Amino acid sequence: MTKKMASKKAAVVGIRDVAREAGVSTMTVTNAFKYPDKVVAETRNRVIEVAQRLNYVPNLVAANFSSGKTKVVAAITPSIQNSNFAGMIMGLEHELEKNGYHLIVSVVEAPSREYDAVMAVIGRRVDGIVLTGVDRDDRTRSILAQSGIPIVETWNLSGPFVDVGVGFSTQTAAREATQIMVDKGLRNIGVAGYDTQGNKRFQERLDGFVEALTSAGLRTDLVATVPGWSGFAGGREALERLQAIERNLEGVFCFTDVLAAGVMFECMRKGIRVPQDLAVVGYGDYEIAAELPPGLTTVHTPGDLIGEHAARMIIARCRGEAQSEKIVDVGYNIIVRGSTG
Domains, the chain, in order of start with CATH, read 15-64 (1.10.260.40), 72-168+303-332 (3.40.50.2300), 170-300 (3.40.50.2300)
Contacts of 124 (CB under 8 A, 6+ apart): 61, 70, 72, 74, 104
Q: How many CB atoms lie within 10 A of CB 3?
A: 4
Q: How many CB atoms lie within 10 A of CB 290?
A: 12
251-254 vs 279-281, strand pairing mode: parallel
Q: Which residues make beta-bridge pairs with 252?
A: 190, 280
pLDDT score, position 3: 42
pLDDT score, position 275: 98
Chunked mean pLDDT (size 10), the chain, 341 residues? 43 86 93 87 93 78 60 92 87 95 92 90 91 93 91 92 96 98 98 93 97 98 94 97 97 97 98 98 96 97 96 94 90 98 93
pLDDT score, position 66: 52
pLDDT score, position 62: 58
Q: What is the value of pTM for the model shown?
A: 0.80
User: Which one-letter amino acid corresponds to residue 50?
Assistant: V
Cβ neighbourhood burial of 76 (10 Å; 0-12, 13-18, 19+) = buried
- Are 63 and 34 contacting, i.e. CB atoms less than 8 angstroms apart? yes
Give ∠ CA 107-110-114 in degrees, rounded to 5. Answer: 70
Q: How many CB atoms lie within 10 A of CB 73?
A: 28
The Cα-based distances of 120 to 39, 123, 142, 276 in angstroms read: 35, 5, 15, 52
User: Which one-letter amino acid corresponds to residue 201?
Assistant: R
